[in-house]
Amino acid sequence: MNPHSLLASAAINIGLALVTLPLFSVLKKQPSNAPIYYARPLSRRHHLPFDDSSSSLNRFLPSLVWLSRAFRVTEDEIVQAHGLDALVIIRLFKFGIKFFTVCSLVGLVVLLPTNYGAQEVQNGSYFTMDSFTISNVKRGSNRLWVHFAFLCFISLYGMYLLYKEYNEILIRRIWQIQKLKHRPDQFTIVVREIPLCIEHKARDCCVDHFFSKHYPNTYYSYQMVYNTEDLEESVSQAKSLARKIEDLTESSMAKRRKNKLSLLGLLHQETSKAAFLEEKLQALCHRIHQLQCKDTLQKKELPVAFVTFKSRSGAAAAAHLQHHSHPLLWITELAPEPRDVSWRNMRVSYRVVPLYKLGVLIAASLLTVFFAIPVTAVQGIAKYEKLKQWFPPARAVQLIPGLSSIVTGYLPSAVLKGFIYIVPLTMFAMAKIAGCIARSKEEIKACNMVFYFLVGNVFFWSVLSGSLLDLIGQFISHPKNVPSQLAGAVSAQADFFVTYILTDGLSGFSLELLQPGMLIWDILKSCVHGCQRETSPYLYSLPYFRIIPLVSLSVLIGIVYAVVAPLLLPFLILYFCLGYVVYVNQIRDVYETTYETCGQYWPYIHHYILLAIILMQITMVGLFGLKLKPAASISTIPLILFTWMFNEYCKMRFLPSFHHYTLQDAAENDELDEKCGLLELHYENAINAYCPPGLRPVNFMASESSSTPLVSS
């Protein structure tokens, strides 16, 4: 990619950001857009920061108020209002800012002059991207020891930051668990594969007998799980009918207040319609009561139950023990919090979960292989000079001045970003059928699948396919230069990843703020339903499965290219700074945190970043070898081993505390509650929190109002 293409990509992305961000600041001030830009405060009926004067010119002028608000938000405020999981995303951006700021300072001051001063590239090509990368250094040059020193520095600095982050988030996790000690999941475990009681032909009595016998002092009660799909469908239909009746009642009351004789016929029509709907509602309520009968439910009993204990320590001990000599009976684990439960997957037998996981793995692998086609096509566009040799009609692009720079600079990263947009949603849909009993586990599984998909396709395949085009051309024209071409394979893609970071950062984050899809949908709904805009908030859960893998990929690209092409690092600082303020704003005003795992996403982020450091080190082993510096390659191997040992230490030091609720913490919280007299209240509330959706009490307000006639006699 030539400098003109890189500048074209930068200009388009910066221009898009300069248009989108001011537009967002104006649209955010309009009260009609509150359901989009203030969905979270609106759902909680909080005061919205709108100017009372509708004619105020300030509402139509761009401002940076949202930006200053984002910078004023503290970490404690985020944890208190949105939970530790939301803070983990913010800490990921802050890690990127801290890490790449230091790397940029050292890289630009030390490494960039080392690369540029090597002067291997001749004939006026100093101003290509390769002039500032390791490919510009001569083979066997002692300048490569500078790269080795920088490799050691950023590896050790990255591990230092990772250890510090892991430790701080663990401390916050312990505080968060202490703060949320009233939560039902701390008293409850999930029991799966419950055997059938031969005498009573049921499983519920088996649960009660088993835990009463083995935990006589701490066992409290249990809640069986049932296959209540038809019951839930009936309840949903009843709620829908109740809303329709309520709407008809309000409509008739409004018309009756007008006291116009011409409306009497219309009111009688609504009365008969309401009466018909009430009959249907009563029939549905009768069916619901039948389905909720004990005899009916017993036939739909699943081998799954939530068991509640009188203490947290009792639940923690029971969750981590093997309860039967047959390892596939009486399987226990700590229960997810009630709003995190995936009731749909509770119906999946534990024994067939591996088959579900295998199916998801095969589907994800097929998607990864299929996605190699658009990635290769994107690299074909990026390597325009090579593309012209193999596809002569592509020369037509040069007929329009400046078009080739846009096509090779901006178009590849934009097309790739467009294809990537659908990947997280697809992977999340796959993760939902993998048999996870908690929504958070579904999102964590989706995070892993999306991240490895992006590493395989966006990173590795982009490097390989881009280098492959170069190698084909070099093999035909200059066969002797193939080894040197291989040495520059990774660095040859640096310019492409610069444009990718610009597109994902400036364009991606700007569009995330603007929410164009929601704006268009809101306008279409207002056109269909009349002039009135939607007043209910467009509230969606925070998409961890989309944010974490995409940002982690940018961290990986930055770390791998830190030594190879230090010119990429300043772009990453801009990327993480913009991402930080965007997602602070989105977490505060747009997205809802629908569950709280107390930071369980961080171990996976830690793993992604450490994988990036090891990948950087392995890449440099190959580059040092191809640059005829075997001593540097051999010296890098102990660094890889040290990084691996650091990873193993972190697994021993931190990971168990994220996967388990420690007996010590549980006992301390029990003691605090006993002193306050709250322990009994907490475990009594716990069993009611895990009532299946179809068995929860529902108040059909419209059925109560049905006794009031729509038209007075």
Answer yes or no: is pLDDT of 711 > 60.
Answer: no
* Residue whose C-alpha is closest to residue 134's, from 470, 639, 494: 494
First to last CA, the chain: 82
State the Cα–Cα distance between residues 164 and 157, nearest whole angstrom.
11
Mean pLDDT of all residues in 343-364: 92
Among 596, 593, 599, residue whose Cα is nearest residue 658:
599
DSSP character at residue 263? G
Which residue has better confidence, 629 or 98?
Answer: 98
Summarised one tens digit per residue, pLDDT across range 227-238 is: 888 888 888 888
pLDDT level of residue 451 (50, 70, 90 thresholds): very high
Q: Taking residues 361-365, what's their average pLDDT? A: 91
Tell the burial category of 254 from Cβ atoms under 10 Å away from its Cβ (0-12, 13-18, 19+).
Answer: exposed
Mean pLDDT for the stretch of residues 356-382: 80
The pLDDT of residue 427 is above 90: yes
Residue % of the chain over a pLDDT of 90:
42
Worst-scoring range by mean pLDDT, 196-210, 212-226, 313-327, 347-361?
196-210
Residues 119-173 pLDDT 10s: 544 444 445 666 778 877 888 888 889 999 999 999 999 999 999 999 999 999 9
Q: Match 């996870």 to its residue by tokens.
A: 436
Domains in the chain: boundaries:
3-119+128-182+354-660, 188-346
pLDDT of residue 613: 96
Tell me the average pLDDT across 106-119: 82
Question: b/e string for 70-91 if b means 16 or more Cβ within 10 A?
Answer: beebeeeebbeebbbbbbbbbb
pLDDT score for 713: 29
Q: What is the pLDDT of residue 400?
A: 52
Average pLDDT, the chain: 82
Please tell me which residue, 53 or 26, carries the higher pLDDT value.
Answer: 26
Contacts of 114 (CB under 8 A, 6+ apart): 137, 143, 146, 147
Q: Which amino acid is at 460?
A: F
Q: Residue 242's pLDDT is what? A: 82
Q: In this predicted structure, what is the pLDDT of residue 2?
A: 58
E strand or H helix at 234: helix 229-258
d(CA 319, CA 549): 31
Of the candidate ranges 99-113, 390-404, 412-426, 657-671, the one whose mean pLDDT is the lowest: 390-404
Residue 258 has pLDDT above 90, yes or no: no
Given a cut of 80, whether residue 320 has pLDDT beyond it is yes
Q: In angstroms, rounded to a whole number, what is the distance separating the alpha carbons of residues 660 and 243?
A: 43
**11 CB-near residues (< 8 Å, 6+ apart):** none
Cβ–Cβ under 8 Å, residues 473 and 547: no
What are 490-547's pLDDT values in tens digits? 666 777 778 788 888 888 898 899 998 888 888 888 777 555 555 678 889 999 999 9
Distance CA 454, CA 448 (A): 10
- pLDDT value of position 357: 92
540: its two tokens? 């969606």
Average the pLDDT over 418-441 and give the result.
90
